[in-house]
Amino acid sequence: MDFGYLINLFKDALLKPEKLWSQESAKNFTLQELLKFPVTPTIVMVAAISSILILIFGYKVPFAPVAVHSSLSDVIIGFIGTVVMFLVTVTLFGWLSAYSASLFGGKNDFIRGVLMIFLVSIPSLIGRAVSPLPYIGTIVSVGLGIYTLILLYKAPCFFLDLPEENRTKNFILFLIIAFVVSIVLGVTLGSLFQPTLPTISTAS
């Protein structure tokens, strides 16, 4: 795992997203190459950081003074589930984003769609990793999630040659499709990695 590359990937995804898009899209990945590196190492690193912070701080329930503590086995299950779910989601959403763009004059390019979804998701992945941190974790996670949505609105014009006048319609359609698909994935594949009911204690 090239940690230097991943750190630069995270930094550019936050500070210089369009520069990162140009650099990564120029590499002409195959799907197998893309999933092998950088997608899998990125989500493994994020899931590992999140798991460590969960073991230390527990889950923080938004707007409630409680900490939800899970066992080591549940955290391991959550780690595996995070990696598997993201790989499935980034691949499926990549295909859906390319298909959605093609309906509004863009290219139906599956691999570029997967690359796009992966790169715009990095800020929200960082937010997920730090979300267990007390006090600031939830705020940072929500903020980076909103930032990902902003990038998702812009990115199809770059990756899939979507005409700018159609990006709002494409964005709305993709969000609707993604919402429905996320629910289906959550109640099917997600249920396989559902941990046991954790204990709840007063947060420090």
Mean pLDDT of 121-131: 95
Res 10 pLDDT > 80: yes
Output helix, strand, coil percentages for the chain, rounded to the nearest 5. Answer: 75, 5, 20
Check whether 196 has a pLDDT greater than 90.
Answer: no
**Rounded to two decimals, what is the model's pTM?**
0.90
Q: Work out the pLDDT band at 100, boundaries 50, 70, 90.
A: very high
The whole-number pLDDT of residue 188 equals 86
pLDDT at 202: 45
Mean pLDDT of the chain: 90
| DSSP three-state, residue 91 | helix
Give the torsion sign (CA, 149, 150, 153, 159). negative
Single out the residue of 67, 117, 70, 112 nearest to residue 89, CA to CA.
Answer: 117
pLDDT at 201 (0 to 100) = 44
Residue-level length of the chain: 204
CA trace torsion 12, 15, 17, 22 (10° rounding): -60
Percent of the chain predicted with pLDDT > 70: 88
- Residue 110's pLDDT band (cuts 50, 70, 90): very high
Q: Reply yes or no on whether the pLDDT at 66 is more than 80.
A: no
The residues near 201 (Cβ < 8 Å, ≥ 6 apart) are 58, 66, 67, 69
